[in-house]
Amino acid sequence: MQHRSPLLPLLAVWTCVTLWSFSGILVKSTEAPPLIAAFYRLWFGVGILWSIALARGRLRFDRDYLRLCAIGGGFFGLHQIFFFASLDNTLVANVNLIASLQPALVAFLASRWFDEPTPWDALPQLGIALVGVAVVITSSSGLPGVEPYGDVLAIINLLAFTAYFLASKRIRNDLGTAEYITGMTTVAAIVLSLTLPLTGQLPPLPSPRDAAILFTIALLPGTVGHMLMNWAHPYLSAFTISTTILAVPVISAFAANAFLQEPITTAQIVGGAVTLTAVTTILRRVAAPG
């Protein structure tokens, strides 16, 4: 891990988390099915990223570059597929609750893959944060309608995103942020495109309104968000970044209430406050000098 003040990387990660928190709200404001929305989000992102790459005149196509982008993009493409497939087969609450297990999984794997010390002193706060996330999510779950198949897909999504997250942290030692995100997003778009015919869905042309919203998703959460997250990888531990991501479902719940008038309960307010307090406590330790 490179040495520098963690304040700017932490700000980058928090900005990414905020942008990611609005992705679901933007998707719900379109008429596109989730998997089709993911298709256009990725290909709009490819167009944005390659336009930037061509303008900068920095293109790379050697074997190592293609191999690393194939690894990161392959995992990210699988994450997109299983995330949206799980949403169609189980409760959103279950998908988010299973995904919130990522920091615990990362804490276990990062100590072995990146020689990061296991953050034993932060684990109690992580446990408190997970409880808060569970309260926020389960309080908005509505009536039971769980299909075990959907939960299995959600578990595969958790593994795919964790693999993408950890692979990206390692790949960033060899590739710059912009060149990696460009290649990774391109591979993910190809993976998703090859999968769509298997689901029986073909991507219709979106309406001008939906196209504008999907382009916004590609530009802000998709491009800017992933740029910031991957830029921060060399400067922060995997555990720190994955813990910060726990704030996504909390911020999403409050944003959905503000912008979509989705109801929010007292339990969600309390759970959100607990999660954000616990995450902030962990990050204050990271940012503390010495």
Share of the chain above pLDDT 90, in %: 33
Residue 40 has pLDDT above 80, yes or no: yes
Residue 232 maps to a domain = yes
Residue 77 has pLDDT above 90, yes or no: yes
What is the reported pTM? 0.83
> Which has the higher per-residue pLDDT, 7 or 116?
7
As a whole number of angstroms, the longest Cα–Cα distance in the chain is 55
Residue 133 maps to a domain = yes
Rounding to the nearest 10 degrees, give the CA dihedral for residues 119, 122, 124, 126. Answer: -100
Residue 74 maps to a domain = yes
**What is the SS3 assignment for 69?**
helix
- Please report the pLDDT score of residue 143 as a whole number: 44
Q: Round the average pLDDT of the chain to a whole number and report it.
A: 84
> Structural domain tally of the chain?
1
**Where in the sequence is the domain holding 250, given as residue range(s)?**
7-287
Whole-angstrom Cα distance, residue 78 to residue 83? 8
Residue 2 maps to a domain = no
Residue 1 maps to a domain = no
In this prediction, residues 272-289 reach a mean pLDDT of: 75
Residue 41 has pLDDT above 70, yes or no: yes
Residue 177 maps to a domain = yes
Please count the residues of the chain.
Answer: 290
| Contact present, 226 and 55 (Cβ < 8 Å) | no
- Please report the pLDDT score of residue 220 as a whole number: 96
Residue 126 maps to a domain = yes
